[in-house]
Amino acid sequence: MTIYTPLSLDDIFMEKPAATPIQEWWIDGRLCLIRRDKDGYFRLERLVSSDPQDYLDQRFQPNRVVATILF
């Protein structure tokens, strides 16, 4: 494949920023997907539950801080 462009190859084929991996944590008996943000906080990414009442619980709202790093 030939690319005809005045742009450099770095501008065309930019690397994607590395995403932090998602971890699975059990919080109060419910499976939660957790991601660590750039400030070191662990935030709730997603709740995985078959109980509809769990999604109405304020403790399991997305982007909620569930743990912090103190060091």
Q: Is residue 1 assigned to a domain?
A: no
pLDDT at 1: 67
pLDDT at 12: 81
- Radius of gyration of the chain, Cα coordinates, nearest whole angstrom: 19
* Domains of the chain: total: 1
pLDDT at 25: 92
pLDDT profile of the chain (71 residues), mean per 10: 80 76 92 90 93 93 81 47
pLDDT at 8: 83
Domain limits for position 53: 16-67
DSSP character string of the chain: -----SS-HHHHSPPPPPPPPEEEEEETTEEEEEEE-TTS-EEEEEEE-S-GGGGG-GGG-TT-EEE----
